[in-house]
Amino acid sequence: MKPAHIVIIEDDVTLNDQLADLLRKRGFTIDQCHDGQQGLLTALNKHVDLVLLDRLLPALDGLSVLNRLRKVCETPVMMLTACGAEEERIAGYSQGADDYLPKPFNFTEMQLRIDALLRRSRGREDNSVQQHNLQIDGLSLCRRQQQVIYDNQTVALTPIQFRLLWVLVENRSEIISKPYLSQVVLKRAFSRYDRSLDMHLSRVRKKLIDAGMAAERFVTVHGKGYRFA
Amino acid sequence: MKNKLLWKLCWIVGVGAVLLFWIVDRVVQQTEQYMSFIALEHQQQLKAYGQEAEAILNSQGQAALASWLLSLQEREQTWAGVVTTSIKPLAKGRLPKQFVKGFLLGRSIEWKIHLYFKENPIMDIPFSDGYTHFLIRLPQRMRPGIYLPYVHLLLQIGLPFILLCFLSLVLYRHFMAPLQKLKKATQQFSNGNFDVRVKAALGRRDDELTTLAHTFDEMAERTGALILTQRQLLADLSHEVRTPLARIDMAVDCIEHNIHPEKALSRLRYEAATMRELVEDVLTLAWLNNEKPCLNKEDFDLVELISVICEDASFEYPERILRTELPEQAILQHSSQRALGQALENIIRNALRHTDNLGQVVISLTKQASLIVIDVKDHGPGVPVGLLNDIFRPFFQVDKSRLNHSEGSGVYEGKKRGGFGLGLALAQRQIAAVGGYIYARNHYQENADSPAGLHMIIELPQKA
């Protein structure tokens, strides 16, 4: 697969270079822009997989860049915001970004979220090859009917709970990060104090345990994410 | 009473205006009447003419009277004459008494003159016989009320103008006195004197303007407090940032000199994370403080939220006992899972941090008619009674040593730090943002004087 192409639109030269270096090292193709106008042109003209967009920019403000970009294409945008509370304001503005990362952030967290965004957008593209059924040790999931059967009993799940279980079972034995789950399951940006993912998981787990599944199959890896064993 | 100022205005303007009209009317009437009479000296003069005419007629005859009349007419630029009358009733009528003795052909000199008639009236001075009359058209120079138009102007325009000006002055002073005080206070406030208040300076007055003063006082109170809090927050923040910054500098030096570079790197990572959290918390705090948001978009199960948080917390503090007394379900409507989640996380973590190893933290949830009450009890040193409200102040720490008393100072990674004293401040504002209320008290064991631990009570409104 071709390495993902990322545009960094960030006016702080040092931070921009640091991000570019770290992301190149991870194998991404990087374009660096230092103002909104130039950034918007780059994001529109090239084939871009992801845009990292600063909120405050010279020439053209981050929100305006997002707004104009959204009129033309659906390229995933991760907004780098200065304040956590700003998220809500941005959300109310236009269609919003795909993810928000409050400054300051660390690279590990950013990496997790970038992976989540890229997997989500690429997943959207190759929908055709997706499976319709998953089966593991007496647990079977049917995507078309949104049906879950464990040990010959039907387990009733909401669509969100079904998606959550599907992603975990599909990536069995792999630790799935919360930012990724938030993107794929809740279809929204992850936030540190957002507990809805944990609450959904706890409900799914409870229902499956009630149906007779071993509690150990759902592993919480603290600080990292969840795993279905 | 509502709209006091309106009533006051109605009273002053209404009564004042009616009184004004009445006074002006009376004065105009009186003056006009007074001015309608012929001046006394002119009355004398006319009477003297009459007597003179009578004397000439009696002593010198009609020819002399005629020439006298001519010269008089010349002198006074008017008409004059002497006539005689006799009244004969027809058809067997009888004369009433007033006509027997004689009657007037013109007007008596003691009567008022109609000032609105252009022509001067004919005055009648009867001779002593009663039926001979000296008649003279009132000479122009003797006509009274020449100044009436000017007097009218003065009374109907000048007088009301002066009185209304006076009324305006009274009203102006009545309204401006408190406004001036308010203006002065506003100036002082903008110059940085946040203690200035207006209401007390207005004395016993009680109307819309004192309400305004009261509103100003409230604003001054809140804004002053806000500015002081922000100042304090900034000072505390820069103070808190110094220590991690110093440690970062030290760690960089350690790496340069190749002293335990791995340890120094993990130190750098830890300090950066700490500062990041600090900044995030302060920003959230400032947001909650300044915008006072109302978070009410979500419905969720509080029991589930608490369970999820407890699961994480007991992972972080495996050596404490975390006991929960929760019902099957407690659906909370129109709230925010994120705000409440962070608040509860901070409170529960705080409780665990202050509880010794093998100590117990109890979390219980009870549903009441219109409230959901969450109790979090720790088994720690508690908080001095006088400081129970202060623990919700940003950067407040009861005792810095207390916070670290169970935390190995060398262990940082994977463990939550002592905190900056922002957790409870945030929690209080987050709970307020979802319409709830939090307070703290100590709980005691029976017959014990020192507290057994701190008891946090969170009350959340629940719509039935």
Number of A/B CB contacts below 8 angstroms equals: 57
Cβ contacts (< 8 Å) between A226 and chain B: which residues? none
Per-position b or e across A70-104, b if 16+ CB within 10 A of its CB: eeeeebbbbbbbebbbbbeebeeeeebbbbbbbbe
Is it the case that residue A12 has pLDDT exceeding 80? yes
Which one of B272, B283, B307 has the shortest CB-CB distance to A84?
B283
**pLDDT value at residue A90:** 55
Q: How far is B337 from chain A (nearest CA, A)?
A: 7
A111 confidence band (pLDDT: 50, 70, 90):
confident
A111, A23: one domain: yes
Tokens of B413: 């990674």
Contact state of A106 with B273 under an 8 Å Cβ cutoff? yes
**pLDDT value at residue B412:** 31
**In which residue are the tokens 């998220």 written?**
A87
CATH value at residue A163: 1.10.10.10
**pLDDT value at residue A96:** 67
Strands (E), B24-98: 80-84
Q: What is the pLDDT of residues B78-111, one digit of tens each?
A: 999 999 888 888 888 888 877 777 778 888 888 8
pTM of the model: 0.64
A152, A100: one domain: no
B455 versus B285: the higher-pLDDT residue is B455
Contact state of B304 with A199 under an 8 Å Cβ cutoff? yes
| For residues A145-154, average pLDDT | 86
| For residues B427-456, average pLDDT | 90
A74, A106: one domain: yes
B404 confidence band (pLDDT: 50, 70, 90):
very low
The lowest-confidence range among A179-183, B96-100, B138-142, B386-390 is: B96-100
Question: What's the mean pLDDT when you consider all of chain B?
Answer: 86
Cβ contacts (< 8 Å) between A15 and chain B: which residues? none
Q: How far is A86 from chain B (nearest CA, A)?
A: 9
A11, A119: one domain: yes
| For residues A23-46, average pLDDT | 90
**pLDDT value at residue B372:** 93
Q: How many angstroms separate the CA atoms of B332 and B340, rounded? A: 11
Which one of B291, B305, B342 has the shortest CB-CB distance to A199?
B305
The ipTM is 0.75
B398, B391 contact by CB (below 8 A): yes
The lowest-confidence range among A40-49, B101-110, B151-160, B356-365 is: B101-110
A96, A181: one domain: no
Question: A1 at the B interface (CB within 8 A)?
Answer: no
A50, A110: one domain: yes
**pLDDT value at residue B286:** 81
Is it the case that residue B135 has pLDDT exceeding 80? yes
Is it the case that residue B32 has pLDDT exceeding 70? yes
Domain that holds residue A175: 131-228
Cβ contacts (< 8 Å) between A83 and chain B: which residues? 283, 287
Interface of B with A in 398-437 (CB under 8 A): 414
Terminal alpha carbon distance of chain B: 37
**pLDDT value at residue B326:** 92
B437 confidence band (pLDDT: 50, 70, 90):
very high
Is it the case that residue B48 has pLDDT exceeding 90? yes
Task: DSSP for chain A, please give it.
Answer: -PPPEEEEE-S-HHHHHHHHHHHHHTT-EEEEESSHHHHHHHHHHS--SEEEEESS-SSS-HHHHHHHHHHH----EEEEES-TTHHHHHHTSTT--SEEEESS--HHHHHHHHHHHHHHHHHHHTGGG--SEEEETTEEEETTTTEEEETTEEE---HHHHHHHHHHHHTTTSPEEHHHHIIIII-S---TT--HHHHHHHHHHHHHHHTT--GGGEEEETTTEEEE-
- Tell me the domains of chain B and their CATH numbers: 40-86+96-144 (3.30.450.170), 194-292 (1.10.287), 293-461 (3.30.565.10)
A61, A140: one domain: no
Question: A83 at the B interface (CB within 8 A)?
Answer: yes
Q: Pick the residue from chain B with its C-alpha nearest to A102.
A: B280
Query: Which of A83, A102, A125 is where one domain is finished?
Result: A125
The lowest-confidence range among B1-10, B244-253, B258-267, B330-339 is: B1-10
For residue A31, what are the contacts with CB-CB under 8 A and spacing of at least 6?
A5, A6, A7, A8, A42, A46, A48
Question: B329 at the A interface (CB within 8 A)?
Answer: no
- Among candidate residues A50, A40, A201, A33, the one with its CA nearest the CA of residue A122: A50
Is it the case that residue A106 has pLDDT exceeding 80? no
Mutate to test the interface with B, among A86, A108, A190, A199 (most CBs of B within 10 A): A199
Question: B315 at the A interface (CB within 8 A)?
Answer: yes
Query: Which of A74, A93, A125 is where one domain is finished?
Result: A125
Q: How many angstroms separate the CA atoms of B230 and B232, rounded? A: 5
Question: B386 at the A interface (CB within 8 A)?
Answer: no
Contact state of A106 with B269 under an 8 Å Cβ cutoff? yes
Q: What is the pLDDT of residues B167-183, one digit of tens each?
A: 889 889 988 988 999 99
Give the residues across from A8 on adjacent strands: A32, A52
CATH value at residue A26: 3.40.50.2300
Is it the case that residue B29 has pLDDT exceeding 50? yes
**pLDDT value at residue B373:** 95
A135 confidence band (pLDDT: 50, 70, 90):
confident
Number of domains, chain A: 2
Contact state of A193 with B276 under an 8 Å Cβ cutoff? no
A114, A152: one domain: no
Which amino acid type is present at position B444?
Y
A64, A159: one domain: no
User: Residue B90 CA to chain centroid, in angstroms?
Assistant: 85
Cβ contacts (< 8 Å) between B291 and chain A: which residues? 85
A118, A11: one domain: yes
A25, A109: one domain: yes
| For residues B394-406, average pLDDT | 58
Q: What is the pLDDT of residues B269-321, one digit of tens each?
A: 888 888 888 888 888 888 888 777 778 888 889 999 999 999 888 888 889 99
**pLDDT value at residue A17:** 93
A11, A113: one domain: yes
Cβ contacts (< 8 Å) between A200 and chain B: which residues? none
Per-position b or e across B133-155, b if 16+ CB within 10 A of its CB: bbbbbbbeebebbeebeebeebb
**Pseudo-torsion of CA B68, B69, B72, B73, nearest 10°?**
-150
**pLDDT value at residue A84:** 56
Q: Pick the residue from chain A with its C-alpha nearest to B275.
A: A104
Contact state of A106 with B276 under an 8 Å Cβ cutoff? yes
B415 confidence band (pLDDT: 50, 70, 90):
very low
Query: Which of A100, A125, A150 is where one domain is finished?
Result: A125
B159, B27 contact by CB (below 8 A): yes
